[in-house]
Homo-oligomer: A and B are copies of this chain.
């Protein structure tokens, strides 16, 4: 099995990566666990819950399953309360364990529920989308959305382990594989030129879900993310570079309505926009901007932003958590493999939007 060790100020834990990991989930349950809630959705549950339940049989603990409605639009305080209702009705206590079994939405909301139920209980991440496996399940950011902004309510709270079974990717829609690959190449762009070039050379193998290539790329992505998180768990400085492409991306998601574009698709397009902005104000080479655009095209993600009023773009970007003092901050690339954070004038933002959007 491939293991990535995550060390943050608040805790340390393993990311276990393998084919067939679901069957061995019982190995990761702490012995003093009093009860377990598997938090999931109908799609995942119908395909895989039996494998997990069968593995958990051996440890003889009470288990409940909580199926949440699917989609980013349900990642809110109301759905959170559904979890609390179920936990309290079933007398879940401080030694109970939550298992987040699903994509980023399930992981974010389950992590947040675990962080505040009785002021914090343990949880395990079993991410079932590529995006969740390489990004949202790693690093301990939990959140729900508010009608006025994405991920505005949440916490920094680490799982006791992350369990990645690459077999589940075989049933994932192609569109979601593409969205996950977008976040994967992001790591290369912001911090590891070698990994970016490896991705350029092996993108076909990744799209075709070749097992060895997948495991290498997922492991490297988790290593890069946990390196950044271990340096700066609470996003006081370095961690913010992980938001490359996200300022534009979040604005697209929030204006179109969550769920219309996948998060990874919005970030993919946002990375092209951030690359254009980098070219404009940091002199990122034009050839590199085109390499990025061509990679996004190869992974079948959108290369043009949707048509949105400039006022709406700016308003949506203004509520980004990276901002302070009303200035809009962006993660930008001086070159591929290196990134900085910089506040940008409205004029430069507007120019970039005009050249990167559908007319």
- A118 in contact with B152 (CB, 8 Å): yes
Interchain CB contact under 8 A, A117 and B153: yes
Taking a contact as CB atoms closer than 8 A, the residue among B88, B143, B153, B234 that contacts A84 in the complex is B153
In the complex with contacts A77-B81, A85-B148, A119-B325 CB distance below 8 A = no
- Size of the A side of the interface (Cβ < 8 Å), in residues, is 38
Task: Give min CB distance, A233 to chain B, whole Å.
Answer: 10
Given known pairs A93-B325, A319-B88, the reply for A119 and B156 (CB within 8 Å) is: yes
Q: What copy number does this chain have within its complex?
A: 2
Contact (Cβ within 8 A) B81 A326: no
CB of A5 within 8 Å of the partner chain: no
Which residues of the partner chain B approach A143 to less than 8 Å between Cβ atoms?
119
Residues of B within 8 A of A148 (CB): 84-85, 88-89
Q: Is A306 an interface residue (CB 8 A)?
A: no
Within 8 Å of chain B (Cβ to Cβ): is A172?
A: no
Which residues of B lie under 8 Å from residue A174 when comparing CB positions? none
Distance of A326 Cα from B80 Cα, bound (Å): 24
**Binary interface encoding of chain A residues 317-333 relative to chain B, with 1 for a CB under 8 A from any of its CBs, else 0:** 01101011110000000
CA distance A93 to B93 in the complex (A): 34
Residue of B nearest to A154 (CB): B119
Tell me the smallest distance from the CB of A247 to a CB of chain B, in Å: 14
Asked whether, in the complex, the Cβ of B156 is within 8 Å of the Cβ of A324, the reply is: no
Tell whether, in the assembled complex, residue A120 and residue B156 are in contact, meaning their CB atoms are under 8 Å apart.
yes
Q: Is A149 positioned at the interface, with any CB of B under 8 Å from its CB?
A: yes
A88 to chain B, nearest CB (A): 4
Distance in angstroms between the alpha carbons of A227 and B302 in the assembled complex: 57
Q: Mark out the residues of chain A between 85 and 106 whose CB falls within 8 Å of any chain B CB in the assembled complex.
A: 85, 88-89, 91, 93-95
Which residue on chain B has the smallest CB distance to residue A236? B94
- Which of chain A's residues 70-89 have a Cβ closer than 8 Å to chain B? 77, 80-81, 84-85, 88-89
Indicate whether A116 reaches chain B with its CB closer than 8 angstroms: yes
